[in-house]
Amino acid sequence: MLKQLSERIQTKMAKVGVIGLGYVGLPLIQAFIDAGFSTLGFDLDEKKIESLQKGESYIGHIPSARIKKWLGDRAFESTAEMQRLSEPDVVIICVPTPLTDSRDPDLSYVEATARQIAGRLRPGQLVVLESTTYPGTTRDVVLPILESSGLTIGKDFWLAYSPEREDPGNIEFSASNIPKVVGGVDEQSRTLAMQLYDHAVAEVVPVGSCEVAEACKILENTYRAVNIAMVNELKVLLQKLDIDVWEVIEAAKTKPFGFQAFYPGPGLGGHCIPIDPFYLSWLARKNGVATRFIELAGEINTSMPEYVVGRVGEALNDAGKPLRGSRVAILGVAYKRDVDDPRESPAFKLMELLQKVGVVLSYNDPHIPVLPSMRHYDAPRLSSEPLTPEYLASQDCTLIVTDHSAYDYDEIVRYSRLVVDTRNATAAVGHGREKIYKA
């Protein structure tokens, strides 16, 4: 059975199933289709399935024309029917791994998905977890659920972990050209997963266990979170000294060794950096170890929205206006530039804080026409306002949260009464400097 599955993978006869057709799963489908595999996508969101079956994309960097081609070539099918999980030879899990309100790992999506797979698991399948999680999840959480099917690991089915590495909006990197780390619960599982990904990515990086692969992903994102926290803390200090932190970073970047630039912002966003370090600190507490460095970085980064609101208050105060009752326009609610992904965006925390002090909110984002409902925030029911001179002039303050390339910052400064810039987006604007506040 192992030999048969290996041959199906090597000859591209294996059908690849992906559970979770979001910003990780759908690009992964694309990588396997480009490699010549037939794919079957699963998602419980009926709206996503309806869109995909019509050939309509809901992710900006995957055009609808591409999905229509997949359908026309019969390389892709999507479904919400989990009873079809027995059809693919390979099942890849790409479901969310958020935090609970107490900042503990929430594995409910992974566990529920594993139970659905177990209910349909058949001999000869490979299961791969890609969802970001703490070391031990694949072996200690997913494996026992799959074995509850009565099938035996290493004999009837195989299990591996390969962390997703997606950077939405970055045209330089895609699922097919980013090296893929692969670890298995046993040697056979790792070998099968390596054979699979070797077709679809530029480089496969094998590691000794699924725990190493899981820890690798946590390290990558904790590294970024800690360094961003450092520049965020430095930003607050340098602002009090009337020193531009952005200019300091640009100067430091000229050092050709021993320095990598990280940039401050209004808070952390996306599905990885605001979450993954807390998975590691939770695991540390569980094992009686203090991760003070990581905890401190988390505290600094989560405090940034409050700092930004304080800067908005200072700007309005200088103009003789109170926060309460002032009209504030938020520019950009996506978590990063030029994407339509709002997950964990600091914009939502900023909205929450500004509403508490009585600010009249509105927003513009060319990539997000309507504010979606959010897991941890009570997002206001707002639609993106047209970014006209009249709209900008009607606001007491314009708050730049996400520095989309589509924005004309010269015009934004020209027509805004005040600008609070959290991304250094107005650095090249030569006029109206007196009404720009860095935050």
- Distance, in Å, from the CA atom of 128 to the CA atom of 138, rounded to the nearest integer, reads 9
Token pair for 393: 């002039």
Catalytic residue among 94, 210, 216, 272: 272
Per residue in 164-188, is it b (16+ CB within 10 Å) or e — as a string?
Answer: bbbebbeeeebbbebebbbbbbeeb
- Distance, in Å, from the CA atom of 429 to the CA atom of 170, rounded to the nearest integer, reads 25
Would you call 80 exposed, middle or buried from its count of C-beta atoms within 10 A (0-12, 13-18, 19+)?
A: middle
- Distance, in Å, from the CA atom of 246 to the CA atom of 235, rounded to the nearest integer, reads 8
Would you call 17 exposed, middle or buried from its count of C-beta atoms within 10 A (0-12, 13-18, 19+)?
A: buried
Residue 263: half-sphere exposure toward Cβ, Cα within 13 Å: 14
Token pair for 121: 């698991």
Q: Verify whether residue 272 is a known catalytic residue.
A: yes
Q: Which helix (H) or strand (E) holds 398?
A: strand 397-400
> Dihedral of the CA atoms 69, 75, 80, 83 (nearest 10)?
170
Q: Is 269 in contact with 346 (CB distance < 8 Å)?
A: yes
Side chain identity, residue 388: T
Q: Is 421 in contact with 246 (CB distance < 8 Å)?
A: no
Q: Is 117 in contact with 148 (CB distance < 8 Å)?
A: no
Residue 111: half-sphere exposure toward Cβ, Cα within 13 Å: 7
Query: Within its chain, how far is the Cα of 87 from the centroid?
Result: 29
For the chain, how many residues are written?
439
Cα Rg, the chain, nearest whole Å:
23
Q: Is 295 helix (H, G, I), strand (E, B) or coil?
A: helix
Would you call 267 exposed, middle or buried from its count of C-beta atoms within 10 A (0-12, 13-18, 19+)?
A: buried
* Other Cβ atoms within 10 Å of 96 Cβ, number: 17
Q: Which residues are catalytic?
A: 272
